[in-house]
Amino acid sequence: MTTTSPSRRTTTGALLALAIGSFGIGMTEFVVMGLLPEISRELLPTVWAASQEDAIAQAGWLITLYALGVVIGAPTIAGSVARFPRHRVMVLLALALTVFNALTLILPTFELVAASRLLAGLPHGAYFGIGALVAAEVMGPGNRAKGVAFVLTGLTVANVVGVPLGTFLGQNLGWRWAFLLVVVIFALATAAIALTVPHRAGEPARTLRAELGVFRVGQVWFALGIGAVGFGGFFAVYTYVATLVTEAAGAPAWSVPLVLIILGVGMTVGNLVGGHLADRDLTRALFGLMGGLILSQLLLALTAGWIVSLVFFVFAVGFTSSAVSPTIQTRLMDVAGDNQSIAAALNHSALNMGNALGAALGGAVIAAGLGYTAPVWVGLVLALGGLGIAAVSFSLERRRASRPELARV
């Protein structure tokens, strides 16, 4: 008797290869945040000499341009390559990440480095989206969310290990050393994907025009809204953890990296747990975890003045928010119909929009003089918004199931 299902060894190898790439993405996306002074000092020497604050603020565009690349690249690349074999697509995406980050490593001026950051963001969403489909495929029915979560684990582990290591290298040897490590990781991921991800025939009918039909599916918009608004609540907290620690709790600056590591551990564990829960009952997992995120943020806002409670509830926020991620990704795959590639990638456009929304609103309330715990309250409101969108989405789905004559939503 023969079977077409991948062996356990093939499955493990493919998931590990994809996770290595997501580890690299986590590094390249977040390590810049800790190296803005070093980058601005080298690439903007005139501005740095006049005002360090202005130089760092200008260097912050490197973060914005990367996020913009993700938003642009996720739907366009994923939709354009949907007809090709996913094995080949993943190799090319990993290779693109290697090359574009190599440009960041070697280019000499701020303007060229900024352009390279935009380019490096383009394959991000497609890598995660199509990688999620590959992971779900090799894991098989009943284990899809676990496969998605395993791939995303590389991103969360990067926050625990990769970003601190890259920041250390960048601060002590020069910021380009951090990107040298990123390039090595992506090169390793490219080779590993080429060797381990199973070959599968493409679908010639899945053109970009056909994939864009996903935007006519109302439930896809709801799922994206849960990610953009609800996950924005996490980024409102994550972006301002440093000021929470030093200003709200009055802890020393050296404790900030430790708190960030604890947050990263919470994200890593939560991601794996979320995958298991989503495979058992996606609806219950999504609502339960969103409720847990809201409760964690409420308790963090109320107790942020004490460092012990702050650390505990920062871990809880990381755990619950990251556990939500595979449920949203799997939900998108469920409601997208035949438009799997572009829908799975769009999740990462939505999450980056949430990143921008949470960071902007969190900064606005601090600037308004509402205090350093105000971003946590903003995060709570955004998480409530995400929960509300989820409630509307599932309510409409139930109505449609009971009344087939209703229009598709």
Tell me: the pLDDT tens digits for 43-78?
A: 989 888 888 777 776 777 887 788 888 888 888 888
Q: Within its chain, how far is the Cα of 162 from the centroid?
A: 15
The pLDDT tens digits for 72-115 are: 888 888 878 877 888 899 999 999 999 999 999 999 999 999 99
Looking at residue 239, its pLDDT comes to: 72
Give 1's pLDDT tier (boundaries 50, 70, 90): very low
Across the range 185-198, mean pLDDT stands at: 93
CATH class of 209-409: mainly alpha
Give 340's pLDDT tier (boundaries 50, 70, 90): low
Q: Is the model's pLDDT at 182 over the cut of 90?
A: yes
Looking at residue 376, its pLDDT comes to: 92
Q: Is the model's pLDDT at 206 over the cut of 70?
A: no
Q: Is the model's pLDDT at 400 over the cut of 70?
A: yes
Token pair 């383009």 is found at: 122
Token pair 């935009």 is found at: 118
Two structure tokens written together for 162:
């990769």
Ramachandran quadrant class, 250 (left: phi over 0; alpha: psi -120 to 50; beta: rest): left
Instruction: Provide φ and ψ at 105, rounded to 5°.
Output: -65, -40
Distance (Å, rounded) from C-alpha 226 to C-alpha 283?
A: 13
Token pair 């803005």 is found at: 36
* CA dihedral for 181, 185, 186, 190, sign (positive or negative): positive
**What's the DSSP call for residue 214?**
G
Contact of 345 with 81, CB cutoff 8 Å: no
Distance (Å, rounded) from C-alpha 397 to C-alpha 115?
A: 42
Looking at residue 10, its pLDDT comes to: 65
Two structure tokens written together for 133:
């489909």
DSSP H helical ranges for 213-254: 218-225, 232-238, 241-243
Query: How large a percentage of the chain has pLDDT more than 70?
Result: 91
The pLDDT tens digits for 227-274 are: 889 888 888 888 778 778 888 888 887 787 788 888 888 988 888 888
Token pair 């205090």 is found at: 371
Residue extents of the structural domains in the chain: 1-206, 209-409
Two structure tokens written together for 76:
């366009």
Token pair 């997208």 is found at: 336
- Give the SS3 label for residue 348: helix
Give 2's pLDDT tier (boundaries 50, 70, 90): very low
Looking at residue 293, its pLDDT comes to: 94
The answer to pTM > 0.85 is no
1-206: CATH number: 1.20.1250.20
Across the range 325-339, mean pLDDT stands at: 79
Q: Do domains 1-206 and 209-409 have the same CATH topology?
A: yes
